[in-house]
Amino acid sequence: MTIIDELREAVVEGQQKAAVASVEKGLAEGIDAGTLLREGLIAAMAQVGQLYEEGEIFVPEMLVAARAMNGALGVLKPRLVEQGVEAAGKVAIGTVQGDLHDIGKNLVAMMLEGSGFEIMDLGVDVPAAKFVQAIREGANVVAMSALLTTTMTNMQAIIEAIREAGLRDQARIIIGGAPITKTYADEIGADGYAVDASGAVRLVREVLAA
C-alpha cells in the first residue's frame, strides 16, 4: 500500500491521527503537497460522498472523515501557502447562511492565500450582513461557497443585500460549491464561477484584471 493509499484509507475511516501521520510521512519522503491534497485528501472525500450516497455510511461517519481531512489539511497548509507573495487583492470568503460545509471553502481559501491574496475568512453559516461588512472593511472580492441545493439560493439574496447597501461596484462576486454551475452564476448576477480551488485562483485573477 502506498502512502497515498494509506492517507485515503485513514480519511475514509475517519482516523485523524493516521491521516496526519500519513501526510507527515508523505512530505518527509518528498511527495508534493498538491499530490497529497488531490490524490489523497480530495479523492478520499469523493469516496466518502459516494459511500454516503450508496447508504454505506451515515452523517456521523461523514463527520469523522471530515475531521480527519481537516486535521491533515492543517499539516499541509504551510506547504500549500509557502509560495505566497505580496497580497494581490483582499478576498472575503464564506459558506453561505444555513450551510455548515467548510472543507471546500477552506481549500479555496488556502489556495488563494498561497497565490498571494489576503484572505478574510468569514467562516460558515454566513449571513448577508457579514459579507456586506467585509466589503466595507476593504474586501475587493467576495467568494461564496454552498454545498446544498437548499442553501445555494441564499447566494442570490446576499448579492441583493450587497446591491441594496450600494456596494455592488466595490467588489467582484464569485461563487462555487458542488451544486453550483456557470448558468446559475449568470442567473443570479455573480461575476464568475469556479469548479474547484485552482479554478478559483484563476477566476480571482481574471475578475480583478477585468
Q: Does 176 bind ligand B1M (CB under 6 A)?
A: yes
Q: Does 62 bind ligand B1M (CB under 6 A)?
A: yes
197-209 helix and 103-114 helix, angle to the nearest 10 degrees: 50
For residues 22 and 145, which CB has a smaller minimum distance to ligand B1M in the complex? 145
> In the window 110-149, what residues touch ligand B1M (CB under 6 A)?
143, 145, 147-149
> In the window 87-106, what residues touch ligand B1M (CB under 6 A)?
98-105
For residue 120, the minimal CB distance to ligand B1M (Å) is 13
Q: Does 45 bind ligand B1M (CB under 6 A)?
A: yes
For residues 72 and 143, which CB has a smaller minimum distance to ligand B1M in the complex? 143
Residue 86 has a CB neighbour count (10 Å cut-off) of 6
Tell the burial category of 28 from Cβ atoms under 10 Å away from its Cβ (0-12, 13-18, 19+).
exposed
Cα 44 from Cα 131, distance rounded (Å): 31
Residue 173 in 3-state DSSP?
A: strand
Q: What angle do CA 104, 110, 111 make, to 5 degrees?
A: 90
Q: Does 188 bind ligand B1M (CB under 6 A)?
A: no
For residue 33, the minimal CB distance to ligand B1M (Å) is 15
Q: Which three cell numbers stand for residue 115?
A: 497565490
Q: CB-hemisphere CA count at 13 Å for 39?
A: 14
Name the phi and psi angles at 93, rounded to 5.
-125, 140
- Candidates 2-10, 75-83, 114-122, 171-179 — which segment interacts with ligand B1M by CB under 6 A? 171-179
- Candidates 27-35, 75-83, 163-171, 193-201 — which segment interacts with ligand B1M by CB under 6 A? 193-201
Interface contacts to ligand B1M, rule CB under 6 A: 42, 45, 48-49, 52-53, 59, 62-63, 66, 98-105, 107-108, 143, 145, 147-150, 174-179, 194, 196-197, 200
